[in-house]
Structure 1
Amino acid sequence: MNTMTGEDGLAELLARAVDNSAVPGAVGLIAQGPKTEVAAVGSTSPEGGRPMARDTIFRIASLTKPITAAAAMTLVEDGRIALDDAVREWLPELAAPSVVRTPHSPVDDVVPARRPITLDDLLTFRSGYGYPADFSLPAVALFAERFQRFVLEPRLAPGPDEWMASLASIPMVNHPGEAWLYHASSDILGVLIARVAGRPLDVFLAERVFEPLGMADTGFWVPEEKRHRFGPSYGRGQDGALELHDVPDGQWSAPPAFPSGAGGLVSTVDDWAAFGRMLLDGGTAPDGRRLLSPASVALMTSDHTTAAQRDAVRLFLLGQGWGFGGAVDVNADEPAHRPGRYWWTGGSGTTAQIDPSSDSVAVLFTQVEMGSPAPPPLMTAFWELAGRL
């Protein structure tokens, strides 16, 4: 690939973050058309570790969500399921879900859901399950108590059938279609994909997404021969110091019982950029194979929320909208926001975006967990840098 020239400042931006101890290392990629700039700065641990490289493998957390959404759309195009289909045919656990009478009601004060959950509800995060801005709501607190630990420790999660049975015992926070709720819909979607396809989620993603796009380093675990490219992950303690949270030879060293469609993948910047380029190219892989139709890509990357739904979850969406599996900018109220930009972040310290207005893909991977939905300064600066193309 050609190298972008000019005062882009990608390497300088990442170097400042390392020098300021924001992260021990980072890998960034900004591609516009045939031009690509990649910078790998720092190392995989504060003590030194392996130098960051273009092929370093990262836990991408919620950057899994757009990939899961795209996989679901391949099944729609196959005619196996439709957007308005009720998912209870494949997810009988959700055949008759209950909903708390009001979001503030105790978990034993429930009513029947007004209508079935559809595939569209899962893709748009309006299934009734998930996180609103208020984590203290009784049904939300119960969901978090039951499932939140699986986000950072995926090996603790049971298999899909047991996971679904546990979910079905918790009432929904809202009726289907009523409110935007974060995270859970993508995990439910992953189970749905596997059942509709008749194959485990990891197998289906490999066949329909990873192999056609050449995403050779993307999956739900890291084989031993690649583990030297996979570093530890960190969080921050109350004093702001980095704390080791996960090691390469730990829970990612074997296939999980529950492949999380919400946050279970590992990947490299080039692999995710290949996925982003496919979306920019209307669903076509580099070799000409079509993964999705332009119409499906347009649905994925268009806003499906109402203004009231967006305002209720500014904590997550920063005032922007939601497509299928990722956010969509609907206004330019911040320098990094450009209407039509499709993007998201991963709690493990990752972010990626596609911007049709500049025909660009931008991917930033670090190993330091975000700690909150608010993007850290490095992410915001990276988005602004990519927006200056």
Structure 2
Amino acid sequence: MGKNTGFSETGLRRMRDVLTRHVESGKIPGLVALVSRGDETHVEAIGNTRHDGGGAPMDRDTIFRMASTSKPLTMAPVMVLLDECGLRLDDLVQEWLPELADRQVLKRPDGPLDDTVPAQRPITVRDLVTSTFGLGVDLSTMGSPLQAALQEHAVFSQGVVPAPEADEWMRRLGALPLMHQPGERWGYHISHDVLGVLVSRVTGKPFETFLRERVLDPLGMADTGFHVPGDKIDRLPPCYAPHPQTGEFLVWDEAAGGRYSQAPEFQSGGGGLVSTVDDYHAYFRMLLDQGTHGGERILSRPAVQLMTTNRLTPEQESARSALARGAVHVSFGQGQQGGWGLGMAVRTYRGDYAPVGQFGWDGGTGTSAYADPQNRLTGILLMQVGLSTPDPARVIHDFWTTVYQAIED
């Protein structure tokens, strides 16, 4: 690899050596990493799909459960509708989501479900896309009645209880109060699932169908969707959730016969996608290119700028940072450095090797995808090891540390 390719050979070798060391430690069965800058793309596939070595080697076309790294991609079809004036940011969502009309709001986020006051105003599209509609997963109040109800009713159960189809899911959500007044505070995850239902109702099509027509197919993302078809299932590794104390590899989800082996009842925009490093590279490269791909426009330039600019007030940003510090699955990688755009974190201060402006997100199955406009850089790291121990978070951190050292000016 010669000069002016975007990365130094020494830097790439260091990245490969560091990732290999993590795999050889026995804590991570395998991984696939992609780094791209300018016209140069470099991929490393290291290790095995199974921790006991009985699976196939990791490969560039291995398919991964993206978990919360689904969120940045989920936002794209919403932006398509905003671009085409099928939605407006200040539209009231109750026109399409009547379940969210006439909300009640808890007097205290951790209080009884019936101790409420009326919402001060209706929920808007803007509230949903900025994750400030009033309801979210809050690890600081996980024992509260509302957080327990989100789990019990499979509004957010992390797959422990399968979510029902979209209309029933919305009915269950609508039966619960909000935690905060609309527009007041940032709340994690749930808004992205609601946005999938909103897209479906506005377009009259299943969320995945519209996502595929307007985003996945134009970008050539043939391996991305909400399940893995039978003819590709051998490319999906098992997903592990190591025991928090012993580190023993426990299978959270097998490939064949597992929860991603058939189309789900509910297409979770917040965490339900599967994909590959090349598919996600195509998406983040489109965002770096201000909405274009191969001469075709997927999103408008202003839409991409809106997505990748911090949308939070200082008070909302403080609340998001507090959640990030308290949650294993959102406190690693790059995502804790300040702000939030639409569907993704946006770095508002330099807290480690990456500069201000980097955008993307991480996922609880050991996934990380970010782009950096300043360096024209994309990085994607995919594993299938849940964050029940610190090991996958350390891999992600070390990946980004070595990626930034590998940049050749």
Q: CA deviation at 1:137?
A: 3.5
One-letter identity of the residue aligned with 2:318:
D
One-letter identity of the residue aligned with 2:282:
A
Q: CA deviation at 1:116?
A: 1.1
Q: CA deviation at 1:115?
A: 1.0
Q: CA deviation at 1:22?
A: 2.6
Does the 8 A contact of 1:222 with 1:254 survive in 2?
Answer: yes
Cα distance in 2 between the residues matched to 1:381 and 1:242: 22
Cα distance in 1 between the residues matched to 2:346 and 2:271: 19
Cα distance in 1 between the residues matched to 2:240 and 2:156: 16
Does the 8 A contact of 1:55 with 1:229 survive in 2?
Answer: yes
Residue in structure 1 matched with residue 349 of structure 2 by the alignment: 331
Cα distance in 2 between the residues matched to 1:119 and 1:108: 26
Q: CA deviation at 1:21?
A: 2.0
Residue in structure 2 matched with residue 244 of structure 1 by the alignment: 251
Does the 8 A contact of 1:153 with 1:251 survive in 2?
Answer: no
Q: CA deviation at 1:378?
A: 0.8
Residue in structure 2 matched with residue 255 of structure 1 by the alignment: 263
CA RMSD, 1 decimal: 1.9
SS of the residue 2:296 aligns to: coil
Cα distance in 1 between the residues matched to 2:126 and 2:389: 27
Does the 8 A contact of 2:239 with 2:386 survive in 1?
Answer: yes
Q: CA deviation at 1:175?
A: 0.7
SS of the residue 2:382 aligns to: strand
Residue in structure 1 matched with residue 38 of structure 2 by the alignment: 33
Q: Match for 2:149 among 132, 142, 159?
A: 142
Q: CA deviation at 1:373?
A: 10
SS of the residue 2:45 aligns to: strand
Match status 1:10 vs 2:15: yes
Cα distance in 1 between the residues matched to 2:49 and 2:20: 14
Does the 8 A contact of 1:100 with 1:174 survive in 2?
Answer: yes
* Identity score, percent: 43
Residue in structure 2 matched with residue 118 of structure 1 by the alignment: 124
**Residues 314-353 of structure 1: pairs in structure 2 closer than 5 A:** 314=321, 315-316=323-324, 318-335=336-353, 337-353=354-370
Residue in structure 1 matched with residue 197 of structure 2 by the alignment: 191
Cα distance in 1 between the residues matched to 2:362 and 2:234: 25
Deviations 1:35-92 (A, max 9, x none): 0110000000111110000000000011111111111000011111101111100001
Cα distance in 1 between the residues matched to 2:391 and 2:61: 27
Q: CA deviation at 1:20?
A: 1.4
Count of equivalent residues? 386
One-letter identity of the residue aligned with 1:168:
G
Q: Match for 2:273 among 265, 273, 276?
A: 265
Sort the Cα spacing of 1:18 and 1:375 in 2 relative to 1 into closer, same or farther, 3 A.
closer
Sort the Cα spacing of 1:74 and 1:153 in 2 relative to 1 into closer, same or farther, 3 A.
farther
Residue in structure 2 matched with residue 90 of structure 1 by the alignment: 96
SS of the residue 2:241 aligns to: strand
Residue in structure 1 matched with residue 291 of structure 2 by the alignment: 283
SS of the residue 2:217 aligns to: helix
One-letter identity of the residue aligned with 2:20:
A
Give ranges in structure 2 of 5+ residues lacking alignment: 325-334
Match status 1:300 vs 2:307: yes
Does the 8 A contact of 1:100 with 1:139 survive in 2?
Answer: no
Deviations 1:201-229 (A, max 9, x none): 11011101110000010011111111111
Cα distance in 2 between the residues matched to 1:131 and 1:372: 20
Cα distance in 2 between the residues matched to 1:143 and 1:213: 35
Residue in structure 1 matched with residue 110 of structure 2 by the alignment: 104
Cα distance in 2 between the residues matched to 1:105 and 1:276: 40
Deviations 1:105-146 (A, max 9, x none): 211111111111111111111011112351233323322333
Does the 8 A contact of 1:10 with 1:28 survive in 2?
Answer: no
Cα distance in 2 between the residues matched to 1:41 and 1:375: 14
**Once structures 1 and 2 are overlaid, which stretch shifts more, 228-237 or 2-11?**
2-11
Cα distance in 1 between the residues matched to 2:192 and 2:385: 23
Q: CA deviation at 1:97?
A: 1.3
Q: Match for 1:377 among 371, 390, 394?
A: 394
Cα distance in 2 between the residues matched to 1:121 and 1:254: 32
One-letter identity of the residue aligned with 2:195:
L
Q: CA deviation at 1:169?
A: 0.8
Does the 8 A contact of 2:66 with 2:363 survive in 1?
Answer: yes
Sort the Cα spacing of 1:372 and 1:299 in 2 relative to 1 into closer, same or farther, 3 A.
farther
Cα distance in 2 between the residues matched to 1:303 and 1:104: 28
SS of the residue 2:292 aligns to: coil
One-letter identity of the residue aligned with 1:120:
R
Cα distance in 2 between the residues matched to 1:278 and 1:369: 28
Cα distance in 2 between the residues matched to 1:373 and 1:240: 10
TM-score for both structures, normalised by structure 2 = 0.90
**Once structures 1 and 2 are overlaid, which stretch shifts more, 97-106 or 194-203?**
97-106
Sort the Cα spacing of 1:360 and 1:148 in 2 relative to 1 into closer, same or farther, 3 A.
same
SS of the residue 1:45 aligns to: coil
One-letter identity of the residue aligned with 1:100:
L
**Once structures 1 and 2 are overlaid, which stretch shifts more, 371-380 or 268-277?**
371-380
Does the 8 A contact of 2:386 with 2:392 survive in 1?
Answer: no
Give ranges in structure 1 of 5+ residues lacking alignment: none
**Once structures 1 and 2 are overlaid, which stretch shifts more, 97-106 or 119-128?**
97-106
SS of the residue 1:36 aligns to: strand
One-letter identity of the residue aligned with 2:246:
D
SS of the residue 1:313 aligns to: helix
Q: CA deviation at 1:311?
A: 2.0
TM-score for both structures, normalised by structure 1 = 0.95
